Amino acid sequence: MLQKYDEVVDIQPVFSEFIKFLSDKGCDTAWFRERTFWLDRNLIKAYVSGGALVSLYKMVVDDALNVTLTKHKQNKDGLQFETWDETIARKREHLDELEAQSISVLQQHCSDQSRRIINTNSTGKDSMVVTHLANKAGLSFETYFNVTTLDVAQSNRMAKRNGFIAITPRPEYGGFYSYIQRYENGGQFK
**What pLDDT band is residue 151 in, cutting at 50, 70 and 90?**
confident
Q: Could you tell me the residue ranges of all domains in the chain?
A: 12-82, 112-184
pLDDT over 80 at 113, yes or no: no
**CA 76, CA 73: separation in Å to the nearest integer?**
7
Cβ distance 11 to 38 under 8 Å?
Answer: yes
DSSP state of 58: E
The C-alpha angle 144, 130, 19, rounded to 5 degrees, equals 95
- Name which of 49, 43, 44, 38 is nearest 79 in CA terms: 49
The reported pLDDT for the residue numbered 184 is: 72
**What pLDDT band is residue 174 in, cutting at 50, 70 and 90?**
low
pTM of the model: 0.73
Average pLDDT over residues 137-166: 90
Number of other CB atoms surrounding residue 82 within 10 Å: 20
pLDDT in tens, 54-112: 999 999 999 999 999 999 999 999 999 999 999 999 999 999 999 999 999 999 999 88
The reported pLDDT for the residue numbered 149 is: 72
Percent of the chain's residues with pLDDT above 90: 68
Query: Among 68-72, 117-121, 166-170, where is mean pLDDT lowest?
Result: 166-170
Q: How far apart are the first and last CA of the chain?
A: 52
The torsion of the CA quartet 25, 27, 31, 32, rounded to 10 degrees, works out to -20
The reported pLDDT for the residue numbered 4 is: 46
Question: Mean pLDDT in the chain?
Answer: 88
Instruction: Please return the burial class of 159, using the count of CB atoms within 10 Å of its CB with bins 0-12, 13-18 and 19+.
Output: buried
pLDDT over 90 at 185, yes or no: no
The reported pLDDT for the residue numbered 8 is: 55
The set of long-range contacts for 174-182, using a CB threshold of 8 Å and a minimum separation of 24, is 175/148, 175/149, 176/148, 176/149, 176/150, 177/149
pLDDT over 80 at 171, yes or no: no
